[in-house]
Structures are given as C-alpha cells and as structure tokens.
Structure 1
Amino acid sequence: MNSYSSRLLWLKNFSPGCFVNLLLLTFLLGLAGLSWIINGLLMILGIIIITPVIALLIFKWWLKNNLVYGHCPVCNSELTSFRNTESYCLNCGEALQIKNGEFHCITSVDTVDVEIVDSYDNQIESSS
C-alpha cells in the first residue's frame, strides 16, 4: 500500500465522534485553568521581541555618552575614539590621549621626532 491510500483509509475511519472527543478534551482543559500556558508563551514571545530592542537602545545611549569626536592637534584630521583612552591618529600616527572630551598629544608639541639615516649607505648607492 502506498501512503496516499493509507491517508484515504485514515480519513475514511475518521468519525464525527472523534472530533467531538477532541472538542470535549479542549473544553475540559480550558475549565482546568490552563490559560497560564498561553500567557506564558505570550510572555516568552514578548521577551524575545522586546529584549533586543531594549539592548539596542541601551547600546546607542552608551555609545552617545562614551564616543568623542574631534581633531588631531598635530595634523588636524578628524578623529573618533572612546572617552578617557589613548589612541593614535590614523593620518599622522601621533599618540593621543582623550581628556575632557578633547584630543591631546601624549608627548609635548615641542618634541621633535627624528629618523636616523645612515649616510654611509647613501654614499655607496650614489657612487654605484
């Protein structure tokens, strides 16, 4: 027998008495006060939907209060960083510290960075 004929056999054996028994069982469960199951499922569904929305709002509030926008004091490029942290300028590479919502150089502005170039290597390359 194939599955199609077994379904026809099941529908053939289905009587109105079975349907009445199903309705009676549903009615008795309703009388027993099982509405807490439905209420619980609705609460779980509500928590699943509302929790990410609340988490997103809290995260946006935290970002608004902890992000600092400003300009690099050395090269004047726009920067974004977290409050009370140390970061680097993406344009010039200067080490910066954020204090009171402003970017400040960790080293003083008067400090000069010097790169050492070996002149001996340059003389050999120019003579070749």
Structure 2
Amino acid sequence: MNQNNFNQIRVNLSGLGCWLTLIGVVWLLGAVGLGWLVKSLAVLIVLLLAAPVLGFIGLRFWLRRNLVQGPCPVCSTALTGIKGTETRCLSCGTPLHTEADGFTRVTEAGTIDITAVDVTVDAKPVLPEGD
C-alpha cells in the first residue's frame, strides 16, 4: 500500500468553514426579518471599498484643475504650485504668487518691474565709409 497517493488528493478546506458560517448568519438574519441589517452592512462595506477609489479620482481631478507649472519670472527656474497661493522660488528665494497662467512676483504697490539688457560696445567707434 502506497501512502503517498493520499497526500496528492488532499484538498485544503480551512477557509470554507468561515464562509459557511457567514452565509448561515446572513440566511438566519434574513429569515428572522432582519434583512435590512444585512443590506445596510453590505452597503457599508461597498462604501468603505469605494471611498479610497473615489477619493483618489477626486484628488487627481482637483490637482489637474489647480496645479500650475511655469518658470520663475526672476530666474526662469521651473516651478510647480497650487493656483491662488503664495510660494517662494527654490532657486532665488523670490516670493511669488501663483495664478492660473503662471507665477508673478509679490511686490509692494507702485513697484515697476523692468528688464535689464546688457549692451556691449566695441572700444573703437565704427565710422561710415566716405567720411
């Protein structure tokens, strides 16, 4: 007699008792007239499983509408911010306000922003020919 054959046919039914007990309790509550309790527990479980998924989808939608990416107006470093908030540039430290179309410098009223242009001049002047 070979005893190894029984080990190959063995089926693990350890979790089946738990499921049968759960099904029996649900059937008993339904038979007694407490089916509303079973239904409310089922709805609660579905809501608990769906809440993280819906929260993740809602967060992605909100970020898509409120996340602004653009360059710093002072040093042109790429920045990311949330629309309507104030932040600082990570590179130059300038306080910035985040708007829908990009970033603007936070300045006092009456401040005029200018752009400096570096102009190089040769040492000797160029005269037109014929003079």
**TM-score for both structures, normalised by structure 2:** 0.55
| Residue aligning to 2:41 | 41
Once the two structures are superposed, the pairs formed by residues 8-19 of structure 1 within 5 Å of their partners are none
| Residue aligning to 2:65 | 65
> Aligned to 2:47, what secondary structure does the other structure show?
helix
- Work out the number of aligned pairs and report it: 87
Give the gaps of 5 or more residues in structure 1: 1-25, 112-128
| Residue aligning to 1:14 | none
**For 1:66-119, what per-residue CA distance to the aligned partner results, in whole angstroms no more than 9, with x for missing partners?**
1100011111111011112221100011121223321122234439xxxxxxxx
Query: 1:37 corresponds to which letter in structure 2?
Result: L
- Assess, with a 3 A threshold, how the Cα gap between structure 1 residues 79 and 41 changes in structure 2: closer, same or farther: same
More helix by share: 1
Query: 2:114 corresponds to which letter in structure 1?
Result: D
Aligned-partner Cα distance in 1 for 2:30–2:79: 63
- Assess, with a 3 A threshold, how the Cα gap between structure 1 residues 39 and 73 changes in structure 2: closer, same or farther: same
| Residue aligning to 2:100 | 100
**Contact preservation (8 Å) 1:73, 1:103:** yes
Sequence identity (%): 36
Give the gaps of 5 or more residues in structure 2: 1-25, 116-131
- Assess, with a 3 A threshold, how the Cα gap between structure 1 residues 110 and 40 changes in structure 2: closer, same or farther: same
CA RMSD of aligned residues (A): 2.7
**Contact preservation (8 Å) 1:83, 1:101:** no
> Aligned to 1:87, what secondary structure does the other structure show?
strand
**TM-score for both structures, normalised by structure 1:** 0.57
